[in-house]
Every structure is written in C-alpha cells, then in structure tokens.
Amino acid sequence: MMTPILPGATIGVLGSGQLGRMFAIAARTMGYRVHTLSPDNDTPAGQVSDVEITAAYDDLDAVRQFARSVDVVTFEFENISSETVLALEEIVPVRPQGEVLHTTQNRHREKSFLGRNGFPVTPFRAIRTLSDLKSALRKLGTPAILKSADFGYDGKGQVRITSADEAEDAYRDLGTVEMILETAVDFDCELSVVVARGMDGAVADWGVVRNSHRRHILDVSTAPAEVPPSVARIAIKIAHSVVQELNVVGVLCVEYFLTRDGRLLINELAPRPHNSGHFTIDASVTSQFEQQVRAVCGLPLGSTEIVRPAAMANLMGDLWRQGEPNWDAACAFPGVKLHLYGKTEPRAGRKMGHLTAIAPTTAEAELLVTSARQALLPYPQAQSARQAAHQRQSRETRAN
C-alpha cells in the first residue's frame, strides 16, 4: 500500500487558470502548499498559490527543477507534451499519470480507446488528407463535424459540414495535420458525470449534470439533471467504467450526448475537474477540487452528497462590454454565490467567473442563477431582471 502524501506537503500544478485556482484554494484549505508552473505570471492559480513559477512547459530544465520542489504533480489541463510528463515522472509522482493524458489529449486516441473498450461513441474516422475526408464523408454521410485531433476545446478547432461539396473548404479552414470526422448527433440534451478515483481504486461521483451551451461554450449547468432514472444509472455506470479502465488517479469528466431516442453517446473526456462540476463547491459535501486533492495525495475520497439542488452559470468577458458588472445586484439574490477568477482582461468568450445558486429544486436553482446573472447587466436591464425575479418569487410564495 502506498503511503499518502499528508497535509504540510507541497503539490505541484501544471497550468495556471481557474481550475488551478480553485484546486489551490481547496489544497491550501486542507493544509497543503501549492506551487504552479505556466508560461504566464499573475495568473488565476498563481495569485492564490505559495509559489508561482513562470516557465514554458517545454523548458525541461525548469520542469525538472519544479518537480524537485514538490511532492506530487497534477494538472489543470491535459495539453502537456509527453516529453514534459516523462521529465516529471523521473522525479516525482504524477497523477493522473502520463498515459491518461496521452490518451485524452488527442481526439483520435481517445475515441479509439473508448470504442476499443466497448464504450458508446459517435461514429468517427481518422483524417490526415483531403482524400481521407472525402472517403469518410461518403461512409458517414452529412451533417458531420470535422475536428482537429489535438488542442480543441470550447468549440475551437472544429467545422460543421452539411454537404460533401464543403469538404475542401472545411479541410482548408481547419488547416491541421491530424483530424477526425464525426457524425453529427441529433441530441436531446448534453449531460456530464464528474467522477473521482483514489489511489486505492475507490470511485465516487456527483451524479448526472445537465449542460446547455452558448457559442459552443458551457453556459448553464444544473444538478441533479432531470433525466429518467435509467439514463442516470447508465451514465454513472459508464463513467465509473471509463475511470477504472483508464486507471485514473484524480478527477475525470465524461461528457455525453443524450440522443432523442434515449441513447447515451460519449462526446469527450476531460481528465481533471470540469466546468460542469463547479457547483460542487457550494452544493456538495466534498467539491470536485477537494476530491482531486484527496485523490492525488492518496487520501480517502470524501462524500459527494449534493446537499441541495444547484445551478451554475458562467460569466463571460462579454459582460464587461458596457463597464464593470453590477456585482452587488447579483449578490443580493439569496442562495447565489459569486466566484471570480482574478483575470484582469475581460474578452468576449473568455471565462471570467461563475455564479452558483442553490434552491429547493433544480428548476428554481436555474431560474435563480440566470436571473442573478441578468442582474449583472447595466441599468435598466439589471433592474428589469430583478423585478421579474422578485415577481416570480412572490407568485411562488403565494401559491405555496
């Protein structure tokens, strides 16, 4: 049995965004020290860490020096080169291990792993040439989605193809060496299951989350998802099987399409805490970030009980277009929590923070969090949002 890494030790994090920030807060709450490494400085994670190291991920001398200063290394995103991971693993435990990152950072390897192990995925083909694409379109048909195999997230690196005539333009627009073509799925909704696996093989999850997107970026998540119990059971069973088959030590998110005929198809995997699990900070006994700390340090996993239904709404840089958002208006909503990531430059499409709401039902939590977000807008939009929310609350009170 491996000896756990106890509070007082130092955890290294590669990556410095909001996931690293929330992980560092959880780790420091539990008494750990945190060092981060990324090419940037004054980062969301670095602002709350004990030490922030600014170095390129492929600067292997800096990476090795970083490894010597910590007791274990984890990641806040998966696009780290195999050379970097190998350099780390020579010196310090890396969790999740390099094989997990190697599989999940490339769409073709990920889909091939899932299909080879009997997990439900969308039909796909590997694409390396224009000829490959034309052949795949004949076999899979249209509509289809052409995606870069590497470094894609939040809808980046993908093109929708609605007819075979669009093949050349799509291939040229994407402009990558390795791609995959997937059948476009006619889905009812998108779901996710965030699951953790400890050093001892124990597995825990937070149930099924329902996700809605705007411009390919997660917009609102609600938990527990209002889906048939049979769908929830299957989604959780698949997620447990995936994390076991990959031999993950840490946290992993399985994202699904729920088709209109009731089937679950895995869209993609993320071997780290996930945007759709942010609600766990305020609504669960153990957040996904505390659970990542526990898992990578070899501690027992915590309870994933959801204390109350919850909803999470992302705050994008677009909110700043007319000036600083109206923070006091959002915070005036009961049951709403504000989380900002410390990013100094708001940009359209950039995740700047999120709101979480807890309520007696999932529907109430979703209404609450979206009303609070609308209230962030400048007057008179914010005023009308607050008035509408208060009117709905008054009607519900009278009805009860």
Walk along the chain (400 residues) and give the pLDDT tens digit of each residue.
Answer: 579 999 999 999 999 999 999 999 999 999 999 999 999 999 999 999 999 999 999 999 999 999 999 999 999 988 899 999 999 999 999 999 999 999 999 999 999 999 999 999 999 999 999 999 999 999 999 999 999 988 656 556 789 999 999 999 999 888 767 899 999 999 999 999 999 999 999 999 999 999 999 988 999 999 999 999 999 999 999 999 999 999 999 999 999 999 999 999 999 999 999 999 999 999 999 999 999 999 999 999 999 999 999 999 999 999 999 899 999 999 999 999 999 999 989 999 999 999 999 999 999 999 999 999 999 997 655 445 545 555 555 555 455 5
User: In 3-state terms, what secondary structure has residue 359?
Assistant: coil
Q: b vs e for 172-202, b when ≥16 Cβ sit within 10 Å of the residue's Cβ?
A: eebebeebbbbbebebeebbbbbbbbbbeee
- Amino acid identity of residue 328, one-letter, is D
* Residue 380 pLDDT: 52
Cβ–Cβ under 8 Å, residues 26 and 1: no
How crowded is the C-beta side of 362, counted as CA atoms within 13 Å? 14
* Residue 15 pLDDT: 95
Exposed, middle or buried, 320 (CB in 10 Å: 0-12/13-18/19+)? Answer: middle
For the segment(s) 187-399, the CATH number from 3.30.470.20, 2.40.30.200, 3.40.50.2300, 1.10.10.1100 is 3.30.470.20
CA-wise closest residue to 145 among 120, 178, 170: 170
The tokens describing 308, both together, are 């109350």
pTM greater than the 0.85 cutoff:
yes
Cis-peptide, bond into residue 224, ω within 30° of zero: yes
User: In 3-state terms, what secondary structure has residue 196?
Assistant: strand
Q: In what order do the strands lie in the sheet with 310-316?
A: 264-270, 250-259, 187-197, 203-214, 217-223, 310-316, 351-358, 336-340
Cis-peptide, bond into residue 120, ω within 30° of zero: no
**What residue segments make up the domains of the chain, in order of their start?**
10-94, 123-183, 187-399
* Residue 8 pLDDT: 98
Cα distances from 34 to residues 17, 37, 39, 380, in angstroms, run 14, 10, 17, 43
Domain 123-183 grouped into CATH 3.30.1490.20 = yes
* Residue 382 pLDDT: 45
- Nearest-angstrom CA–CA distance, 142 and 124: 12
Query: What string of H, E and C letters represents the secondary structure of 124-186?
Result: EEEECCHHHHHHHHHHHCCCEEEEECECCCCCCCEEEECCHHHHHHHHHHHCCCCEEEEECCC
The tokens describing 121, both together, are 């995925």
- Amino acid identity of residue 386, one-letter, is R
- Nearest-angstrom CA–CA distance, 52 and 34: 9
- Nearest-angstrom CA–CA distance, 200 and 210: 29
With a CB cutoff of 8 Å and minimum separation 6, the contacts of 123 are: 140, 182, 183
CATH of domain 10-94: 3.40.50.20
| DSSP one-letter code for 315 | E
